[in-house]
Amino acid sequence: MPGRRPPIRRSTRIVGGVALMVITASGIGHAVVTGVDGAIGRVDAFGGMQGRPDGSKGTNFLLVGTDGRDNLTPNEKKLYHLGGAPCHCTDTIMLVHLSQDRSRASVVSIPRDTYVLLPARTAKPAAKAGAKPPAKPPSKADGKGAAEPPAKPAAATRPAKLNQAYSQGGPKLTVRTVEQLTGVHVDHYLEVDFTSFMKTVDVIGGVPVCTSRPLKDSFTGLDLPVGTTNLNGGQALQYVRSRHLDPAADLGRMQRQQRFLAQVIHKITSSGTLGDPLRLRKVVSTVLGSVRADQGLDSADMITLARAMKGFSPGSSEYTSVPLSSTSLNVHGVGSTVKWDALKAGRLWAAVRADKPLTAPRPTPSAGSTPAGVPVAVDPARIRVRVENGTTVGGLAASTQQALRATGFATTGTPTTTARHVPHTVIRYDPRWDTSAKALAVALPGAQLVPAPKQGSLMRVTLGPDFALARVKPVTAPLPDPGAQPREGALTGDQVGCS
């Protein structure tokens, strides 16, 4: 690529770990797993640890992305300006909870700048073998000088940022620190780097991302237009590491990472990869060959997980970040850190430990009752719709608009007829309102979604002959469970929209 780019400051390689989890949890066969199991790099993440939290329902994975770059080629380092010395710390930290019934994955982003207390470092370096001990200072006792004040005991802990746990104590201290912060027992550890991220994106054929505004970051070279773009490994690396796109900085970057992961899950579960043994083996080999995992995660675990989660889909995943009370807590000797909101974060981790969803559950109709409609992510009353007839069936636009109004949509304007007939029913929508468009598509089965940048919030429906014999499907906005604690900011994978 032309031009010089500044060195990468921060990044995330979590996608390789999430891809591994989705692939192994979506019907992968015994031969595929066992054939590449030996490619996984192993780390000791739990050995000798004591005083850990009790185990909980479900399975908890700690996924970390490090700044390791040893496996990159010189050309890749030059192209993406990764030639600097790594800090040997974690760029990205996520805790992924797989529910006990294997119907849900909850992904919680943990800010790398979280304020923590780590074990104090040794004040003095260890003496070299054979070196003489330092001379004992004089004291009043031997009459040769003043008494030396008693030495102060070393502090047990020191203030730090969470990402420093890895550079100080590797995977073990990282796991220990996260467990102490959350009270959640970590069952498995996965670690990925630059290579894992880029290779995973490339081997699945790229990942589409949607943006409602141009995204440009001179620090990373990111330059995306409005709409949907299919990103290759290098472009995806630019997207997930950019933190100069808005005032939210790292926190905004975490939200983009979650959107990206939702698209990775959608791509893997809907592209036919899981049903093609040859393609699947290639994807699995690529991912497993560039991750490191704890010694207890073996092929038997993967196969058991796969059989239990055969029906996994984008809607089965949910995403959130740890609630914060301060985003700029300045700590002497550490710098700017973030501090968790103790009450809200406590509720979040309590839900994880109790194996409860982070998003508000959708009500199910009681026995013998008639459901009001299919629950959708956006209240139909907030979705403005205009309908036009592209068929030879007279009055179809008017009757359809009336049916949409009856199920709650905010229909607007007078139904019209197009100058030319159209072959299919389409919903034209501004990508900034893609979640609303998906809700409308539920009410109009078979309609094709067509992005129309700058159209605004109005949904424009053009009816085709494929809709002539169809009926509008009733929908309804989901009502939160009155007894459920709200999880602020949590979204399911199929609710994730444009950034």
pLDDT digits (tens, 9 = 90+) for 455-465: 888 899 999 98
d(C-alpha 436, C-alpha 431), whole Å: 10
According to DSSP, the residues that pair with 317 across neighbouring strands are 105
According to DSSP, the residues that pair with 92 across neighbouring strands are 65
User: Is residue 244 within 8 Å of 269, Cβ to Cβ?
Assistant: no
3-state secondary structure of 81: coil
Instruction: Tell me 274's DSSP state.
Output: G
Q: What is the pLDDT of residues 173-223, one digit of tens each?
A: 999 999 999 999 999 998 877 667 778 888 888 888 888 788 888 777 788
List, as one string, the DSSP characters of 99-143. -TTSS-EEEEEE-TTBEEEEEPPPSSPPPPTTPPPPPPPP-GGGT
Longest Cα–Cα distance in the chain:
114
Residues 6+ apart with CB under 8 A from 307: 27
pLDDT at residue number 468: 65
Of 12-21, 69-78, 344-353, least confident by mean pLDDT is: 12-21
Three-state SS string over 82-95 comes to: CCCCCCCCEEEEEE
Bigger pLDDT: 415 vs 426:
426
- Tokens read off for 423: 């072959």
pLDDT at residue number 270: 64
Name the residue with tokens 């949910």: 318
Residues 6+ apart with CB under 8 A from 487: 320, 347, 348, 351, 358, 359, 360
Pairing of strands 384-389, 410-411: parallel
User: Is residue 111 within 8 Å of 105, Cβ to Cβ?
Assistant: no
Architecture in CATH of 374-476 = 2-Layer Sandwich (3.30)
3-state secondary structure of 337: strand
Number of alpha helices (DSSP H) and beta strands (DSSP E) in the chain:
12, 24
Bigger pLDDT: 119 vs 468:
119
- Tokens read off for 256: 């983009």
According to DSSP, the residues that pair with 216 across neighbouring strands are 223
d(C-alpha 263, C-alpha 4), whole Å: 30
According to DSSP, the residues that pair with 459 across neighbouring strands are 385
Q: What b-and-e string marks burial along 133-169, b requiring 16 or more CB atoms within 10 Å of the CB? A: eeeeeeeeeeeeeeeeeeeeeeeeebebbbbbbbbbe
User: Is residue 260 within 8 Å of 16, Cβ to Cβ?
Assistant: no
Q: What is the pTM of this model?
A: 0.63
pLDDT (average), residues 19-26: 50
Bigger pLDDT: 352 vs 246:
352
With a cut of 70, say whether residue 123 has pLDDT above it. no
pLDDT (average), residues 72-95: 67
Report in angstroms the alpha-carbon separations of 447 from 118, 270, 283, 372, 422. 55, 18, 32, 22, 12
Pairing of strands 416-417, 410-411: unpaired
- Return mean pLDDT, the chain: 75
The CATH superfamily label for domain 14-119+155-353 reads: LCP protein (3.40.630.190)
pLDDT at residue number 352: 93
pLDDT at residue number 76: 67
pLDDT at residue number 62: 92
Q: How many CB atoms lie within 10 A of CB 310?
A: 12
Domain extents for the chain? Answer: 14-119+155-353, 374-476
Length of the chain: 499
With a cut of 90, say whether residue 125 has pLDDT above it. no
pLDDT (average), residues 234-261: 72
d(C-alpha 199, C-alpha 233), whole Å: 6
Roughly what angle, to the nearest 10 degrees, separates helices 233-241 and 250-270? 150
Amino acid in position 132: K
